[in-house]
Amino acid sequence: MSDDSFQSPPFVDPSPMDIDEIVEANSQEICYGALCEAHGSLSGSTAGKSLVQDGRYFQQFRIVSCEHSFGLLSEKNKVVAVLDVDTCKALECLQGYQEVRATAVVETLRLGQTRVKSGSKGVFPLSINIYGTQDEASKVGDKLSEMHAFLQHPFFLEPGYEYFNPQYFHLGGEMKCMTYLVGLGEIEHRAKLISDEVERVFDSLDTMGRDDANTVLGAQPDAIITPLKSHQMAALAFIKRRENHDACQSANKSLRRFIGISPKDDIPSYSMGGILADVMGLGKTLSMISAIVSSLPEATGYTTAEYQNSVSPAPGCRSRATLVIVTSMQVLDVWEREVSIHVDPGVLRICIFHGSSRPKSPEGVIDHDLVLTTYATLSADRDDLRVLQKIEWYRVVLDEAHWIRNQTSNQFRAAESLSSERKWCLTGTPIQNRLNDLESLLKFLHFEPFSRTSIFQRHILEPLSKDTPGRAVNLRALLHTISLRRNEEYLNLPEPVYVDISVELECKERQLYNSILKKCARDIDEIVSARAKIKKYCILFAAIMSVRRLCNHGTLSVPAQSSLSATLPSGADGEPDCDFCGSSDEDKLALLSKNELCTRCGRSLSSTSQGHKSKSPGLGSGAPTPSCAGDANLDQPGPQSPLSPGQTLQGSSTKLLAVVGNLVKSPPGSKRYGGSPL
């Protein structure tokens, strides 16, 4: 590498007239990676703060040869720092490559805090990005390896350049673009590899594919009015297969043998059911309703004295009903409406287990085909009369099953303790934040032995953490056995068109936005000064939630009503701190009624009045809800409006006005004009 090659022009943000030159240069030049354990020492009395250019997270410097070392050159062409000996040796070995250049990258914050003072040489960490042509990549990588200098993912990459690491092991021998890894440390890199692997596993779960010769699609149930699409018929076939005792046990046994469960851990799983993980829009609700209708004869037989099954739960109060747990009262209405639309009148007897007038004993529930309740009502019932816990259900279904991912939550404990041989999880996001989310679903399903934490850790999580090609084999085998997932390809939608529209907050919105940020800064200062135990990220998370809600909803609000949310501590300008604990949805609030902290934003709920804590809203008081509906064709109230009669929304939202404006301009055939139901 020649001395001149190091003296590349200082980095500047490209202006429109520079684009053609950059594209031409980048078509030949790539980044090989970064030497990340480099250090610089400030020269003379130079202060790091004097080298900082405002508005940049990273600062870049040209590198020049200075006798037996290399230095960083400022914009004034003055050497302001000298590199450490090991880094100089690595750069020196590259001087023979005319097409190779290097750039120093320094974090602005660290540089600004560095200065030369008595007893200190003003040392600061940095990284060295190495650039060159693809033709030279392998040679440069080998040369650096001889010097025991290894290229890492760059913390920063100049716009327009791609990252190809010649020292990285590439399957097939051909270098692959790794630009997506720029800015990731070792921990983040490992996390991304695991995330990508899990995503590939989910993409492979279409085990009832359109062209699968082993998929036997039976006839559509006669009582289902709406013609089912092929993927919904496949989902129905999958549900039937996972509810066939012999087929289910055979598949479970094969899975345990494949993964290599030791004899002492080989506890047979007698549960039936699984996870329907189709993405949103494929009609998971209709698929499950079809399964409920299809299994009515078997469900009726489940309650008879002649029903003999050595693996059934202990004798108790049996019901032919399928119990469906949903997130809110509004979703209860959705399930009722779906039944009325897609099922022949009179086929299903429905019970709504919600509100103060819900049945107080199992006898008021068991003589139905479908029982609908919410997670909040289920949790409250478990701590009170335990009506739902006393019944052996033919089938239990969790809608939006990721709601039980937290194993310390009330809803998880209540759902996990329900008695049924057939349990189903409906969720488009079985893994939301952590792989342990899947463990929560397995515990609900009672899918032994993988529902035990030690087995799940040993056979699923630990292999994933290893950097081996087959690390996801066990996870894939597990999910192929119990889960079905199809993506949006089955919707046959046209390619989406993305348009970025800039929206400026109006004056009142901007004032509220600034007040939230000021309150966040003030709260952090206070807990730091007081050395409080509350975690700072809880305050940041609450601020992010408040700002996001403000950007979406603006100053829109509903006139205050008497509810649990009115008793919770609020954020800036009376705004509740998150969409969960600040919601007016009584089902969400009921789930928090016994918590000291919000499970979403982490803020304290201790100021909640004892009166509300002793009696969950909407569960023991309030407007009565019909407890049991007979035939599905009976007139039922539609979805309840969040506004009471005579109430109007107050305020405005710049973003929502922009959305409405674009909908008005939408052409025929768009969502504005509706579409056919799934």
Delineate the domains of the chain, giving CATH numbers in brackets: 3-183 (no CATH), 230-489 (3.40.50.10810), 507-553+564-614 (no CATH)
Residue 503, SS3 per DSSP: coil
Strands 29-42 and 123-133 come out as: antiparallel
For 136, the token pair is: 């030279």
d(CA 476, CA 220): 30
Residue 323 is inside which H or E element, if any? strand 317-326
Question: Cβ distance 279 to 428 under 8 Å?
Answer: yes
d(CA 448, CA 453): 11
CA dihedral of residues 430, 435, 439, 444 (deg, nearest 10) = -20
- State the helix-helix crossing angle for 654-664 and 536-553, rounded to 10 degrees: 40
Give residue 490's pLDDT: 86
Six-digit token string for 229: 């699409």
pLDDT score at 269: 72
Q: Which two tokens mark 157?
A: 């990459």
Give Dmax over CA atoms of the chain in angstroms: 96
What pLDDT was estimated at residue 540?
Answer: 81
pLDDT below 50 — which residues of the chain? 1-27, 210-211, 213, 308-315, 560-577, 599, 602, 607-642, 674-678
Rounded (5°) CA angle 642-631-293 = 100
Return d(Cα 281, Cα 203) in angstroms, integer: 16
Spatial contact of 51 and 59, defined as CB atoms under 8 Å apart: yes
Return the pLDDT at 20.
40
Determine the Cα–Cα distance for residues 283 and 234; give it in Å rounded to an integer.
Answer: 12
What's residue 370's pLDDT? 98
Burial of 154 (0-12, 13-18, 19+ CB in 10 A): buried
Query: Cis link prior to 449 (omega < 30° from 0)?
Result: yes
Any idea what the Cα angle at residue 149 is, between residues 99 and 465, rounded to 5°?
A: 115
Candidates 326, 333, 320, 330; CA nearest to 370 is 320
C-beta neighbour count of 84 within 10 angstroms: 16
Whole-angstrom Cα Rg for the chain = 31
Please state the φ and ψ torsions of residue 656, each to the nearest 5 degrees: -65, -35
Instruction: Give this prediction's pTM.
Output: 0.65
Output the six-digit token pair for 662: 């674009």
Q: Do 71 and 82 touch, CB atoms closer than 8 A?
A: yes
